[in-house]
Amino acid sequence: MSLTKWVGQRVNDALLARGFEIVRSESLYGWQHMQAHQERFNAAPLAEDAKSYLRPDNPKLLDLEQRYRAFDARVTTPAIWKDGHVREEDLAYFRGDNGWVWQVHGTNANILAYALCLYYLRSIDRLGLLGRLGEDANFGNFTFRIGDQDVSRDLLDSIAEIYFLDHHLGIGSRPGFRILDIGAGYGRLAHRLTTAFPHIEYTCTDAVSVSTFVCDYYLRFRGLEKARAVPLDLIDSTLQEQPVDLAINVHSFPECKMEAIEWWIQLLSKHRVKHLMIVPNCHDDRMLEREGRDFQPMLESYGYRTVLKEPKFLDPVVQKYGPFPSWHHLLELRS
């Protein structure tokens, strides 16, 4: 064996031992050549009112920040959403690739995975949601053109979550059904769900002031009459006046401290919210917070038992190779 081949073999063996492998570049797909997605958002033009409103010095945002600082530190002390987590440009381009929705960073965040997900959802789309909901590039959203349709993580995740809820709770045929979205981000699920089912009343809230600020703007931008953003310091009184049937937490509790999760569960138990849907960040069926602690026993201590849990995609191939695989959990409060 020549010295060159011997050195190459030793390097390859060392890389394999560390979980790496050398392959020829011509065997890769085009998207696999990208070391990292450099753009944080799709820089499509913004409306003038968005530019002037979605600013860090907006008085409404400053007021929310002050109110949140004065609120219960158990729920407002951030684990992830610290200063700098949201950059100034993220305010106007809040649907870009950032902490609200990672779209092009993460497990299977590529066009093939998005295509697989799209065709899977088409196979179960008995309500025609893919055609009714649609997608656009507003506020920095990254979209993939697949066949004759523009899709995004926002759209695909929302449709998967809607079908889970409709299949197990029948929300599409329950007039006056009320939902509380905890850690609602910019309000993407509120937008999708109330567009699909206009009879549903949807309340968004968040322990992060900038999320409440952006969510309020986005829901008004979409013209949603039955979806609203409620500041954290008003959520207790809001639930007292208008009880809800279901609370939702999508990828939010795993970003919280354990005491913050407990604060929310105490609130739900206090107001006797019957059902709770949780989407953790795990690829398996565990519910773990950021430090790896299982918070399911704490949920059970407040009376919330797991009714069922299932993978985001029921097809195991799609669950393995689809974008951002996770699990959907449905819990019920013991009477």
Q: What is the pLDDT of residues 106-146, one digit of tens each?
A: 889 999 999 999 999 999 999 999 999 999 999 999 999 99
CB 330: neighbour CB atoms within 10 A? 18
DSSP helix/strand/coil, 333: strand
CATH number, domain 57-333: 3.40.50.150
Residue spans per domain, the chain: 3-33, 57-333
pLDDT by residue for the chain (335 residues), tens only, comes to 676 666 556 766 666 677 667 766 565 565 555 544 567 777 778 888 898 999 999 999 999 999 999 999 999 999 999 988 988 889 999 999 999 999 888 889 999 999 999 999 999 999 999 999 999 999 999 999 999 999 999 999 999 999 999 999 999 999 999 999 999 999 999 999 999 999 999 999 999 999 999 999 999 999 999 999 999 999 999 999 999 999 999 999 999 999 999 999 999 999 999 999 999 998 899 999 888 899 999 999 999 999 999 999 999 999 999 999 999 999 999 97
**Structure tokens, 82:** 């610290």
DSSP string for 210-229: HHHHHHHHHHHHTT-TTEEE
For the stretch 260-294, pLDDT in tens is: 999 999 999 999 999 999 999 988 999 998 888 99
Q: What is the C-alpha to C-alpha distance for residues 47 and 70, in angstroms, rounded to an integer? A: 33
8/6 Cα distance (integer angstroms): 5
Torsional sign, CA 230, 236, 240, 244: positive
pTM for the full predicted model:
0.90
C-alpha 29/C-alpha 230 separation (Å) is 45
Spatial contact of 232 and 75, defined as CB atoms under 8 Å apart: yes
Question: Residue-wise over 33-53: b if at least 16 C-beta within 10 A, else e?
Answer: eeeeeeebbbeeeeeeebeeb
pLDDT score for 13: 67
Report the DSSP beta bridge partners of residue 144.
151
